[in-house]
Structure formats: structure tokens, C-alpha cells
Amino acid sequence: MNWGWIQNNLPDIASFLGQHVVLAVLPVLAALVIALPLGYLVHRTGKGANPILAVLGVIYSIPSLALFVALPVLLGTRILDPVNVAVALTIYSVALLVRSVVDGLRSVPWDVKQSASAVGFSRWGRLLRVELPLAMPVVFAGLRVVTVSNIALVTVAVLVASGGLGQLFLRGYNSIFYTPLIVGLVLTVALALLADAIILLIQRGTLPWARGRRA
């Protein structure tokens, strides 16, 4: 480990870290906005939900590098445009989060739904004030998986984009110099752990009753 190299390259390392956060987090936020209503619509299809979820599973299984390379052709963007990475990660995130939303809504007990209707909740009132809050622990679990997955995938995206901690891996590989590789690995793992902890804290803060129920 060359500590002098780290000190001399701190501005670049900080810049790569910031780019990595943006590339990983923005697709998650966009996907969450898309997946919540889409997951509800898929859930409402009843038996039709399983084929749709199967298709989303196939989409999620597409190799990331293949999707990164294919998107410029589909979108008409440059091969090294960061937009390709953002769109690809949003697609992956939506594919996984929709399943989490559906699974969360399916986990709400039928008698709870009936009780909510019996006390006068409309369909939308029951969804927003009863079903969705009860489904959120499952959604948060999916959100944690998606966020950590995106942080890992952004390192691969260095092959088709210009930013992120993957630049450190590329520098280390091209120069056969281990320090950038180690720094990139440590920061990627630390970022994933930090993001997971933040989401868990948000979950515990917004759903305190869920923590009590698990206890």
C-alpha cells in the first residue's frame, strides 16, 4: 500500500467517490418512484402478476455489460455517455423493486384488508393507510438489495462511462499498481455498507411499529 499515492490523489479519489454515489443512488430513487405504482398495478392483475414478474426476472438476469453496450444503440446516445449507465441501473432497479412491492402487498393479511374496509376505508385509503405501510418492510428489504447491487455494478460501468470508483480499478490494472485497486475495493465495500446502514436507519425511523413487531 502506497500511502503517498493516496495522499497525492485524494482530490481524484473524492471526485470518483462522489460520481459513484450519484451514478448508484439516482437510479434507485427513480426506480422507487416507478416501482411503487407499477408494483401495485401488477399486484392488481391477480394471477397475471406471476408472468409479469417472470419477465422482470429475465430482465434482471441480463448481464450488465451487455445492457450497457446495447443501450446506446436503443437510445441513440454515445457509447461512453453516463446516461446509459443511469438507464441500465434504473431498469435493473425497477425489475427488482416491482417484485418487492408485489411481495409486500401480498404479505398483508386478508383479514386486515377486510377490517380496514369494514371501518370505512375506501380502496385508495386502504392502500395508502393500511396496505402500503404494512408492505413497506418488504419494500425496504428490496431497496437495500438494489442499492448495494447498484454500487457494485457502477464499478463495472467504468468500461462504458467516465466516472465512479471503477476508475481506480482501471488505473491499477493498466499500471499493474495495487494501491488504486485496494483503495477502490475498500471504498466500494465501505460505500455499500454505509448505504445499507442508512436505509436500515430510515426504515427503523419511519416504521417503528415494524421493529416492535419483529421483537
Residue range 31-84, pLDDT digits in tens = 999 999 999 999 988 888 889 999 999 998 988 888 888 888 888 888 778 888
Task: Give the cell for residue 214.
Answer: 419483529
Better-scored residue on pLDDT, 34 or 3: 34
Residue 175, pLDDT > 90, answer: no
Residue found under cell 461512453: 80
Which segment of 95-109, 169-183, 184-198 scores lowest on mean pLDDT?
169-183
Q: Mean pLDDT across the stretch 114-121? A: 82
- Note the pLDDT of residue 215: 39
Pick the closest to residue 39 from 111, 93, 109, 116 (CA basis).
93
- Note the pLDDT of residue 162: 66
Which segment of 21-35, 69-83, 89-103 scores lowest on mean pLDDT?
69-83
Residue found under cell 419494500: 139
Q: Which CATH architecture has domain 3-214?
A: Orthogonal Bundle (1.10)
Q: Tens digits of per-residue pLDDT, 156-169?
A: 888 776 678 888 98
Q: What percentage of the chain carries pLDDT values higher than 90?
A: 47
Residue found under cell 416492535: 212
pTM of the model: 0.87
Q: Other CB atoms closer than 10 Å to residue 191's CB: what's the count?
A: 20
- Note the pLDDT of residue 211: 61
Pick the closest to residue 98 from 110, 87, 90 (CA basis).
90
Sequence-separated (6 or more) residues with CB below 8 Å from residue 111: none
- Note the pLDDT of residue 164: 87
Q: What percentage of the chain carries pLDDT values higher than 70?
A: 96
Which segment of 53-67, 95-109, 129-143, 200-214 scores lowest on mean pLDDT?
200-214
Across the chain, mean pLDDT equals 88
d(CA 139, CA 36): 9
- CB–CB of 13/183 below 8 Å? yes
Q: Other CB atoms closer than 10 Å to residue 131's CB: what's the count?
A: 22
